[in-house]
Amino acid sequence: MELAAGPARRARRVLAAITVPLLLATLIGLAVLWPRGDTPVGSQPDPFAGAQFVTAEVVEVTGETGKEVRAELADGSGEVVPVQVPPEIMAAGVDPGDSIRVFFTATAMGSGSPYVFVDFVRDVPLVLLTAVYVLVVLAVARVRGLMAIVGLVASMGIVVAFLLPALMAGGPPLPVTLVGASAMMFIAVYLAHGISVRTTTALLGTFVGLAVTTFLASWATGAAELSGGQLGRLDHDERHAARGGAA
């Protein structure tokens, strides 16, 4: 139901009076909490000398413990190497011709196979699935669908560029999460649905739910005295007691 001209103008003014300060607070929060300098993301030293991830193609399933499959490395050398594969992966099914990603550790060459299964290579299926998804969205929603996809990509950008680095840099978790989620809401909702009274009302309702959830999480964490460090200490004490108090 559409509002009359007078009530519609009043509704827009009220919504703007609420939404604009929230948008400014979000932008200020991004500026203040944005990670600066070096962060631990992607900067941790490699604990294994000469370790690397490589791809290979399974040529034989042996089932031998520690050398469950033999795979040809995809580096052009044609070398076939034994690969350790976890039992649950073997039970799920590994077949000749599968492309896999393996972890090579040079230090393990003297004690067993230096190649350990990490995951299947899914690049082609995921690209095809993404392409089909985009085509279906564009065919059904057209411009709105395109803008929704843009909003989704922008939201992922906020996660990668702001949320994760800020948390890894030791930023306050609740404010960082609240500001990041608020920024993603503004971008995704307005890009997908446009700026209108209805969209802004839905956005504010979602923001209230997010704020309430954040408040309850903060209160519950403090009230229950939840602490990762304390849990880690308790776990250490339990293991120490299980060993009979041995150092």
Q: What is the 3-state secondary structure (H, E, C) of the chain?
A: CCCCHHHHHHHHHHHHHHHHHHHHHHHHHHHHHCCCCCCCCCCCCCCCCCCEEEEEEEEEEEEECCEEEEEEECCCCCCEEEEECCHHHHHHCCCCCCEEEEEECHHHCCCCCCEEEEEECCHHHHHHHHHHHHHHHHHHHHHHHHHHHHHHHHHHHHHHHHHHHHHHCCCCHHHHHHHHHHHHHHHHHHHHHCCCHHHHHHHHHHHHHHHHHHHHHHHHHHHCCCCHHHHHHHHHHHHHHHCCCCC
pLDDT of the residue at 126: 93
Whether residues 11 and 113 fall in one domain: no
Helices 173-193, 5-33: axis angle to 10 degrees equals: 140
Residue 14, both tokens: 């009220």
| Count of domains for the chain | 2
Residue 206 has pLDDT above 60, yes or no: yes
For the entire predicted model, the pTM comes to 0.70
Give CA–CA dist 184/187, Å, rounded.
Answer: 5
pLDDT of the residue at 228: 60
**pLDDT grade, residue 234 (50/70/90)?**
very low
Whether residues 93 and 157 fall in one domain: no
Q: What is the mean pLDDT of the chain?
A: 85
Give CA–CA dist 96/57, Å, rounded.
Answer: 8
**pLDDT grade, residue 7 (50/70/90)?**
confident
Within-domain flag for 47? no
Domain that holds residue 105: 52-121
Q: Which of 91, 121, 151 is the last residue of a domain?
A: 121
Give CA–CA dist 206/199, Å, rounded.
Answer: 11
pLDDT of the residue at 232: 47
Whether residues 82 and 23 fall in one domain: no
Within-domain flag for 135? yes
Give CA–CA dist 149/146, Å, rounded.
Answer: 5
pLDDT of the residue at 164: 93
Residue 43 has pLDDT above 60, yes or no: no
**pLDDT grade, residue 41 (50/70/90)?**
low
C-beta atoms surrounding 178 within 10 Å: 23
pLDDT of the residue at 201: 93
Residue 231 has pLDDT above 70, yes or no: no
Q: Which of 66, 88, 121 is the last residue of a domain?
A: 121
Range 171-197 average pLDDT? 92
pLDDT of the residue at 19: 95
Residue 237 has pLDDT above 80, yes or no: no
Whether residues 82 and 147 fall in one domain: no
Residue 204, both tokens: 């504010």
Measured in whole angstroms, the distance separating CA 70 from the mean position of its chain's CA atoms is 32
Residue 244, both tokens: 């009979």
Whose CA is closest to 36, among 184, 166, 175?
Answer: 166
Within-domain flag for 245? no
Within-domain flag for 140? yes
Whether residues 160 and 218 fall in one domain: yes
pLDDT of the residue at 246: 45
